[in-house]
Amino acid sequence: MKRDMRLYVQDILESIEAIEEYMQTLTEEEFYENRQVQDAVLRRFEIIGEAAKKMDEDFRGKYADIPWKKIAGMRDVLIHEYFGVNLKRVWLIIKRDLPELELNFLRIWEEIKD
């Protein structure tokens, strides 16, 4: 049985919210120094990427403005090149890309939640 696409959207939104919560009081330097937060953030990015990969083609096609390949690609980098993760890149994604990603998935959620 296929998993409901709404559950994947919820997974993504919950993970974005968790990342924002972990990062809300940290400076960039504090993030680089806090391995516990790094691990938590990276795990949440893995969840986001995995959820994006599991969504079916029809769903992804309906929301073609979402950078599905980039999201899944980030997950692949984190899983397969864990020891080479560029924390500066992660920081920039959190600060530059995550807010827009959240807005996009909130929009999707509003369309599909019922």
Q: Each residue of 82-107: pLDDT tens digit?
A: 567 889 989 999 999 999 999 999 99
The Cα 4–Cα 51 span in angstroms is 11
Statement: residue 19 has pLDDT above 80: yes
Q: What is the reported pTM?
A: 0.90
pLDDT tens, residue by residue, 20-75: 999 999 999 999 999 999 999 999 999 999 999 999 999 999 999 999 998 988 87
- Residue 1: per-residue pLDDT: 58
For residue 17 the two structure tokens come to 């919210």
Examine the residue annotation and report whether 35 is marked as an active-site residue of this protein: no
The Cα 25–Cα 30 span in angstroms is 9
Catalytic residue, chosen from 6, 43, 60, 75, is 75
Q: Where are the beta strands (DSSP E) in 1-114?
A: none
The whole domain housing 18 covers 5-112
For residue 91 the two structure tokens come to 């920081």
The total number of structural domains that make up the chain: 1
Quickly count: other Cβ atoms within 10 Å of residue 33's Cβ. Answer: 11
